[in-house]
Chains A and B, each alone.
Chain A
Amino acid sequence: MIGSFAGVLFDGFAYGMLLFLLSVGLSVTLGMMNFVNLAHCSFAMLGGYVTVTLMDRAGWPFFATLPVAFLAAAAASVVLERALFRRLYRASDLDQCLLTIGIVFVSVAGAAYVYGTLQQPVQLPDYLRTAVTLGGLRFPVYRLFLIGAALVITVVLVAALEYTRFGARVRAAVDNQRMARGLGIDVDGVFAVTFALGSGLAGLGGALAIEMVGLDPAFAFTYLIYVIIVVSVGGLASIGGSFVAATLIGISDMAGKYYIPQLGAFLIYLVMVGLLMWRPAGLFGRR
């Protein structure tokens, strides 16, 4: 019982780290421009398909595909941001939701057209498919790797946000966009870079997610709900908040599926609605 509990905690934490990678970009850009980008997970899906294609068709090793997944998602997001999103920064929540849901529909149908609706297989290198045993518990190496990667990214993100000039600009733009503009900060430029970074991280998360949760065209919808839950529970523009929320959601989802499978996803929605009613701005949100 104790063993299985620790196992659920570990799996839930790994799952939470995946959710963190998928959602942290959305949290920051949503907090900065108030732009409700429901197409965020489409970028993650793009990253996943880039990895699958490069490994399957071009025979690249898994690790070499990860930077490409990051770059592809970032590049695609910049194109969309410049072409479409930019015009709707001052529009209502509803218009932003609708535009980005439209993009999700298009991306889901496009992925189904190119790759079919089946789950995409991914062949990991052998050393990632083993497991280490520690104190009677099995830890799959891939999940350890996932947790490690997410922790490193978190540390880098927090350090970049706290200690670099660019990070200071981002924080200023999140705190008060008009004041930041008044001080001569190019908010649109900062936003474009942040947006590309966030989408790139989502793409990376999408590539890393294949092994754990699979990849099919419905990915953009399924994980959109989880990502939005993480963002709205964690609070906007808060990396720490996203981290805590993703961990919480990952573990409670895993525990719910393990101990009370007949409830399905009921528990996770209950957690979200309850938390939002208690704190509408999220656990760590300031507005």
Chain B
Amino acid sequence: MARVALRAVSGPHGYLQAQSRWRWPEVAFWIATPLPFLIFPTYLQLASQIAITALFAVSLDLILGYAGIVSLGHAAFFGLGAYAAGLLSKFWWGEPLSGLALAAALAGLVGYAASFVIARFRHLALIMITLGIGLLLAEAANSASWLTGGADGLQGVRIRPLFDRFPFDLWGRTAYTYSLVVLFLTFLVARRLIHSPFGLSLRGIRENAVRMPALGAPSRAYIRKVYTIAAVMAGLAGALLAQTTSTVSLEVLSFQRSADVLVILILGGAGRLYGGILGAIIYMVARDQFSGINPQYWYFWIGLLLIAVVMFLPNGLLGGLTRLASWWRAHLLVMPPS
């Protein structure tokens, strides 16, 4: 960020415009996203899962990485979206896009209600309240087994073909395309948001929530807004999972899922738009490759990785890469005087 600021920019709008310019690694990344169709046509289901997880991680990034709201219960909105989409297709109709819209609306509504509580607290109390809300919803879904199927999962989810033309097949061709398009569109929204004055205020709130109101940015109102948006995105991700896998289990609401997405985001780098996406790719691919080993031991390595990231890579892999790149520029390339 400092690098951009050093260039001659004309006021705050120029700064934001310089920030939001598309750079070539970004463009290259999005152009590369359809590559799994050519290179790994048998892994499209996994690719779809990665896109969904990435969307979930981006939504957590908005509140954690940018606004500094630590949440140990973000799976609540993911699960709400998943159950909304699953129940809609079970009891009423299986059209996917309307299911997506309903899931987003429901998650957004609950997120908006919860945001009034979230905005009032910080530090340990905040962590505990987000954890508590997540656990409450998980317990509620477990108790309401007449509706959710309890521990057996929701049976009888039937999703109609997308636009009545593209069925969700076993190969995951439709699933990946669908998840990827939703991820891309949501990402565009998040990107626009981050590079707006609102996004800048969020970073200010993260650094000092007391001072921001003095600058004309009401902290609580802004936190409520971004929390609701993040809830909508998490709900979208949950609905995508329910629709592409045609099943919903209690696991979508579990603490494990909240912890996993946190690990993914931290691993990739919080407070960077691509951190969640990078983390999701690495985490999901690694888990797929090591799926033969006992999940108990998988968490051993995740634990070690977490310790290592916190101790040695405070900004995640993406932060480390950025540092490497700037070191490279400073030491090995002769910069023209600006």
Residues on A facing B (Cβ under 8 Å): 30, 36, 84, 87-88, 91, 93-95, 97-99, 101-110, 112-113, 117, 217, 225, 228-229, 232, 236, 262-266, 269-270, 272-273, 276-277, 280-281
B297 contacts A276, C-beta separation under 8 Å: no
User: How many residue pairs between the two chains, A and B, have CB atoms under 8 Å in the bound complex?
Assistant: 113
6 of the cross-chain contacts (CB-CB < 8 Å) are: A91-B310, A95-B310, A102-B302, A112-B297, A272-B132, A273-B136
A109 contacts B299, C-beta separation under 8 Å: yes
Contacts of A270 in B (CB 8 A): 136
- A102-B303, A109-B297, A264-B143 provided; 17 other pairs, C-beta below 8 A? A91-B310, A93-B124, A101-B259, A101-B306, A102-B306, A103-B303, A105-B302, A107-B303, A109-B303, A113-B296, A225-B131, A232-B124, A264-B142, A272-B132, A273-B129, A273-B132, A280-B125
B124 contacts A104, C-beta separation under 8 Å: no
A265 contacts B139, C-beta separation under 8 Å: yes
Residues on B facing A (Cβ under 8 Å): 64, 70, 72, 117, 120-121, 123-125, 127-129, 131-133, 135-136, 139-140, 142-143, 259, 262-263, 266, 270, 294, 296-297, 299-300, 302-307, 309-311, 314
Per CB-CB distance, the 5 closest pairs between chain A and chain B, nearest first, are: A105-B303, A102-B306, A109-B300, A106-B303, A280-B125
Instruction: Summarize A's interface: helix, strand, loop or mixed.
Output: helix
B262 contacts A106, C-beta separation under 8 Å: no
Q: How far is the CB of A115 from chain B (nearest CB, A)?
A: 11
Knowing A84-B311, A101-B306, say if A106 contacts B127 (CB, 8 Å). Answer: no
A117 to B297, CA, bound (A): 12
Contacts of A265 in B (CB 8 A): 135, 139
Q: How far is the CB of B209 from chain A (nearest CB, A)?
A: 13
Q: How far is the CB of B187 from chain A (nearest CB, A)?
A: 23
A266 to B139, CA, bound (A): 6
A30 to B72, CA, bound (A): 19
Which of B140, B266, B270, B299 is within 8 Å of A105, CB to CB?
B299
A95 to B70, CA, bound (A): 10
B304 contacts A232, C-beta separation under 8 Å: no
B128 contacts A97, C-beta separation under 8 Å: no
Q: How far is the CB of A190 from chain B (nearest CB, A)?
A: 22
B124 contacts A36, C-beta separation under 8 Å: yes
Q: How far is the CB of B166 from chain A (nearest CB, A)?
A: 40
B127 contacts A93, C-beta separation under 8 Å: yes
A102 contacts B300, C-beta separation under 8 Å: no
Which of B136, B140, B310 is within 8 Å of A98, CB to CB?
B310
